[in-house]
Structure 1
């Protein structure tokens, strides 16, 4: 009986946390990605025509990977610290930029944790953009 009560209490909390993570990912996407990849992720952002490398259509990541979303690969592409470079070249390394913004305020270790959270939220938001 106790476990059922705990579940009833935790379910709304978990749902609220998931909604907040989705909103955080969307905010990161709109701030860091939409200008090149477009609001819907199709690679048609307002700056796309001015870039030397065409932004990827982020809605096709799963389709290009046999229907599975490669979350770790996407995280590594966004982060840039694992050697994976988006588009074969000039995509910004967001891991370094996100961390740089915070290091002076909260320190190196805390900024690493916050940066990883931001990148995970962003990657999960990109997963939500996948074409059905």
Structure 2
């Protein structure tokens, strides 16, 4: 039994010491959002014209929410959770694509730090920076 646990413990220790890869919200935006939402986030990307519904202007999220950036709602929209079953949405669900990588703890408003994909948080933070 001990022969099995020692290699597992060693692997866990090495993983814990490995440097975390820095997540770039800007790079994620360029990979997943720019084609529809455009470089500035205004919904004027090169693929926007071919969609049945115009992409949202991401620079006015806070303005549409009383001047506050709704981080949890934005992450839920990006992930696709809040849009499941919405047949009018043309935005892809990015939850699976953004799951790769480390998790960070995010208070989602209930006082509980919820493990959340760092990529999802980084992308939402990038959008927060685009607000007018």
Match of 2:26 in 1: 26
- Alpha-carbon RMSD: 2.4
| TM-score, length of structure 1 as denominator length | 0.67
1:86-97 to structure 2, matched below 5 A, reads: 88-97=88-97
The Cα offsets for residues 86-130 of structure 1, whole Å up to 9 and x where unpaired, read as 89412111112333xx4xxxxxxxx57387100100000000000
1:18-97 to structure 2, matched below 5 A, reads: 24-80=24-80, 82-84=81-83, 88-97=88-97
Question: Higher helix proportion, which one?
Answer: 1
Match of 2:122 in 1: 121
* Structure 1: runs of 5+ lacking an equivalent: 1-19, 103-110
* Structure 2: runs of 5+ lacking an equivalent: 1-21, 105-115
Q: Name which one, 1 or 2, has greater alpha-carbon Rg.
A: 2
Question: Higher strand proportion, which one?
Answer: 2
* Structure-2 change in CA distance of 1:71 and 1:87 (3 Å): farther
Higher relative contact order (CA 8 A, sep 6+): 1
Distance (whole Å) between structure 1 residues aligned to residue 87 and residue 61 of structure 2? 13
Distance (whole Å) between structure 2 residues aligned to residue 31 and residue 40 of structure 1? 14
How far does residue 83 in structure 1 lie from its aligned partner after superposition?
A: 3.0
* Structure-2 change in CA distance of 1:38 and 1:62 (3 Å): same
Query: How many residue pairs get matched?
Result: 99
Secondary structure of 2:41's aligned partner: coil
Q: Which 4+ residue blocks in structure 1 deviate beyond 6 angstroms? A: none
